[in-house]
Amino acid sequence: MSNPARCTCPRCSIRNLMGPAVVTTIGVLFLLSEMGNGYFHIGHTYPVLFIVIGAILLGSSLASIEGHVEANLPPIPPPVNPEPPAVPPYSHPSAGQGL
């Protein structure tokens, strides 16, 4: 399902880099973990992932939104309240109890 009105403003363009940057960072960290002598273990280098995520979020929040295209979502229909069940007519209290 493609969206023909995809936003190309700087903010959305930078935010679209989040996935590839995270995957690349994880790949580099695992590569360093395998090639290093112990210092580049994933337990020592995982904060780099948070730094990359923070840098992308900071960059996208500082970027211009000139030319931003809002997503055209269909309007949400109001909730439908079901009719309460009909109350049976009042009858004698002992009616239908087999007394």
- pLDDT recorded at residue 40: 81
CB atoms inside a 10 Å sphere around CB 10: 16
pTM summary value: 0.61
Structure tokens at 89: 């007519």
pLDDT (tens digit per residue) in 21-70: 999 999 998 888 888 777 788 888 889 999 999 999 999 989 888 877 77
Cα-Cα-Cα-Cα torsion 77, 6, 8, 28, nearest 10 degrees, comes to 100
